[in-house]
Chains A and B, each alone.
Chain A
Amino acid sequence: VTDGTVGLLGLSNHWAWQVERARNLATAAGSARADVLQYHHTYLRMRTDIPELRFSQDGEIGAADGSILSYLRAEPGMTLVAYSPLLNGAYTRPDKELDRAYDHPGTQARLEALQQVAKETGATANQVVLAWLIGGELPVVPLIGASSVAQLDESLAALDLQLSAEQRQLLDEAS
C-alpha cells in the first residue's frame, strides 16, 4: 500500500480471530490494515457448523457469521463484500437447489418474508435480497455474478428498490 502497488487491502474467508490478528500485526508494524472483508453473505442464514474438510475442519470459514458481522459493526470504516448473495440463482430458479447449509427451520420463514416483500414491491426476490443487503445498517457491497446481460439488468434494477421501514423490519425479524 505504501508503495502504491496495492490500493487497499482485503481479506476473504478467514476466521474472525485471524482477521483481528492480522489487523493487529499490521498496526503494530505501522503498515496498512485490511479494511475490506469478502465473505459469502445473503438474506438467508447459513448453518456454519458444517466442516469443510479441505479448508475449515471446524466449521464454515467462508460465511459472514455473527463473528464477522459483529466485527464490522464494531469497526467503523470496514466494508463487507458479500459474495454469492443470490445463491447461484436459487432464490428464483426452481432448477437451482439451495445448499444443504440452508436446510434448517429458519429458511422457510425467511423465504416467506422475502416472497411477501417481493409481492408488495413488485420486485423479484433477487432484487429484494440485494436491496436488503445494500440498505442495511452494516456497510455491505454485494458481489454479484451474471451469466447474461438480462441477469445483470435484474440485479442493477435493485438499486431503484427502496424498502420501507416495515418491509425491512419484516425481513429482519423473520427467522
Chain B
Amino acid sequence: MRYTTIGSDPSSAREVSVISLGAMRFGTTTDEATSFAILDRYAGGRVRGAGDRRHGRPARAE
C-alpha cells in the first residue's frame, strides 16, 4: 500500500492509504464472512468509508 497525507493543518493532518475501502455494504449485501475476508486482505489500508447509502441512490452505492 502507498500512503498520502490529508488535511492542511499539521495538527490534524494524517496519513491515509491512497486507495480507501468503502464498507457501506458490509453486513447487508456483503455477508459477514466475505466482509471479514475483504477487511483482512485490505488490512494495510488506513481509511474506510462507513457510508450512509448516499441518500439511498442505488447507482451511487460503492
* Residue of B whose beta carbon sits closest to that of A38: B49
Total count of chain B residues near the partner, CB < 8 A = 35
B38 touching A62 by the CB < 8 A rule?
no
Interface band, chain A: 35 or more
Of residues 14 through 54 on chain B, the ones whose CB sits less than 8 Å from some CB of chain A are 14, 16-22, 24-25, 29-30, 34, 37-38, 41-42, 47, 49, 54
Interface string of A22-34 (1 = CB under 8 A from B): 0000000000110
Main secondary structure of the interface of B (DSSP, over half): mixed
Q: For the complex, what is the distance from the CA of A14 to the CA of B49, rounded to whole Å?
A: 18
Of the listed stretches A110-118, A155-163, A166-174, name the one at the interface; the rest are far from the partner chain.
A155-163
Q: For the complex, what is the distance from the CA of A159 to the CA of B4, rounded to whole Å?
A: 13
- How many whole Å from A147's CB to the nearest CB in chain B? 5
For residue B47, which residues in chain A have a CB less than 8 angstroms away from its CB? Answer: 81, 141
Is A143 part of the contact surface with B, judged by Cβ < 8 Å? yes
For residue A91, which residues in chain B have a CB less than 8 angstroms away from its CB? Answer: none
| Count of CB-CB pairs between chains A and B under 8 Å | 112
B7 touching A77 by the CB < 8 A rule?
yes
* Given contact pairs A13-B54, A88-B61, A159-B2, A147 touches B20 in the complex (Cβ within 8 A): no
- How many whole Å from A100's CB to the nearest CB in chain B? 9
Q: For the complex, what is the distance from the CA of A43 to the CA of B57, rounded to whole Å?
A: 20
Q: For the complex, what is the distance from the CA of A32 to the CA of B30, rounded to whole Å?
A: 35
Give me the interface of A with B, judged by CB distance under 8 Å: 1, 7-8, 13, 32-33, 35-36, 38, 40, 52, 54-55, 62, 75-79, 81, 83-84, 88, 99, 130, 134, 139, 141-149, 152-153, 155-156, 158-159
Give me the interface of B with A, judged by CB distance under 8 Å: 1-2, 4, 6-9, 12-14, 16-22, 24-25, 29-30, 34, 37-38, 41-42, 47, 49, 54-55, 57, 59-62
Would you mind naming 20 contact pairs between A and B with Cβ atoms under 8 Å apart?
A: A1-B12, A7-B14, A8-B12, A32-B9, A35-B9, A36-B6, A40-B60, A83-B22, A134-B18, A139-B4, A142-B19, A142-B20, A143-B21, A144-B22, A144-B62, A145-B25, A147-B34, A148-B38, A149-B34, A159-B2
